[in-house]
Amino acid sequence: MAKVTLSTLAEMKKNGEKFTSLTAYDATLAHLVSSQGVEVILVGDSLGNVCQGHTSTVPVTVNDMCYHTRCVSANAGDSLLVADLPFASYSSEEQALANATRLMQAGAEMVKLEGEAWLIPIVARLREQGIPSCVHLGLTPQSVHVLGGYKVQGRDEARATAMIEAAIALEKAGAAMLVLECVPSVLAREITQSVHIPVIGIGAGADTDGQILVVYDLLDMTGGSKPKFVKNFMAESGSTQKAVAAFVAAVKGGTFPGPEHGFE
C-alpha cells in the first residue's frame, strides 16, 4: 500500500471504492493493522474502555492520547493516522488548537472531534492552522451522560435533518472527514451522498465510504455482550493477521457490514 493521505481517500470515494479503518493503541496493534492494508488507523479515546478499563471515554486525558498516539505513530506504516481529541479538550477554538497541536506533534495526521454544528468555528480554525479534522456525528460516546446511554441517534425527522445540515456545514467549514456512529443506515447513506469528504461508518450500514471497528472487538478480545454492529472476525480466522485481513476483504468486497449489523 502506498502512503495513504486525504487525497487517497478522496479518490477512493470518487471511484466508489470502500476503505477500511481500525483503532490501534500501541505499536504492536499499529503494525498488525497497517501491515494488512487498513487505510486509516484511529487512536481512539475508546482506549479509556479497552486499555484503561473505564465504563466511558470521559476520564481520558490529552496526555493519555498523546502517549498512545506516539506509540502508534512508531509503527503506523502507510496508514493515515487519526487521533481523538478527548472529552472537554476542545471547548473553545484556542483550547482545540493547543490540544490538536499536541496530538499532531505526537504523530497524528488528523484529529477527530465529537459534535455537530457547534464545531464549525473550531474546525475552521484548525484547518486555517494546517490541522485536518474528522467530525464524529451520531452516537458521540463523550456525551453519553447527556444522551442517556449508548443509543441509536437520528431516528426522528428533526434530529436526522439537523445531522444532515451539520454534515454539510462542517464540510463547508473545512472538515476533512466524518465518522457516523449508530445512525439508521438510510440516514448514513443520505449524509454520505450529501458531502464530498469521505464518511466512515460504525453501526451506520453499508453505504458509507469506509468502515471502522474497535480492533479488540473484531479480534473478539472484549468480554461481555457486543454491540449489534460488531462482527467477530477471529471466529473464521486462525490468527490476528488473518482476522484483520478478513475484515479488510469483507469491507472491500461488500459483505461487511450486513443488514444485521445496521439500524433501520
Counting contacts by CB under 6 A, is residue 84 touching ligand KIV?
yes
Query: Is residue 207 near ligand KIV by the rule CB under 6 A?
Result: no
Catalytic residue among 39, 109, 114, 181: 181
With a CB cutoff of 8 Å and minimum separation 6, the contacts of 20 are 37, 38, 39, 40, 210, 211, 212, 247, 248, 251, 252
Grid cell of 28 as nine digits:
504492536
Nearest approach in angstroms of CB 213 to ligand KIV is 7
Q: How far apart are CA 51 and CA 35, in angstroms?
A: 22
Q: In the complex, what is the shortest distance from the CB of residue 238 to ligand KIV, in angstroms, rounded to a whole number?
A: 26
CB distance 122 to 96 below 8 Å: yes
Please list, residue by residue across 162-194, b when 16 or more beta carbons sit within 10 angstroms of its beta carbon and e when fewer do.
Answer: ebbebbeebbebbbbbbbbbbbbbebbbbbbee
Q: Does 46 bind ligand KIV (CB under 6 A)?
A: yes
Shortest CB 20 distance to ligand KIV, Å: 13
- The smaller minimum CB distance to ligand KIV, of residues 84 and 190, is found at 84
Residue 179 binds ligand KIV (CB under 6 A) = yes
CA 29 to chain centre: 16
Told to check if 209 binds ligand KIV by CB under 6 A, we report no
User: Is 181 in the active site?
Assistant: yes
Among the listed residues 259, 257, 255, 245, the one whose alpha carbon sits nearest the alpha carbon of residue 38: 245
**Smallest distance, Å, CB 206 to ligand KIV?**
17
C-alpha cell at 145: 451522560
Cα distance from N-terminal residue to C-terminal residue, the chain: 35
* Closest distance to ligand KIV from the beta carbon of 21 (Å): 8
Residue ranges in 50-79 that form contacts with ligand KIV under rule CB under 6 A: none
Region binding ligand KIV by CB under 6 A among candidate stretches 31-39, 41-49, 125-133, 184-192: 41-49
Q: Which cell is 80 given?
A: 493515515
| Contact by Cβ (8 Å): 104, 80 | no
Q: Is 152 in the site for ligand KIV (CB under 6 A)?
A: no
Cell numbers 437520528 correspond to what residue?
154
Nearer to ligand KIV by Cβ, of 28 and 161: the residue is 28
**202 belongs to the binding site for ligand KIV (CB under 6 A):** yes
By annotation, the residues acting in catalysis are: 181
Query: Which residues are at the interface with ligand KIV (CB under 6 A)?
Result: 23, 42, 44-46, 84, 136, 179, 181, 202, 212, 214
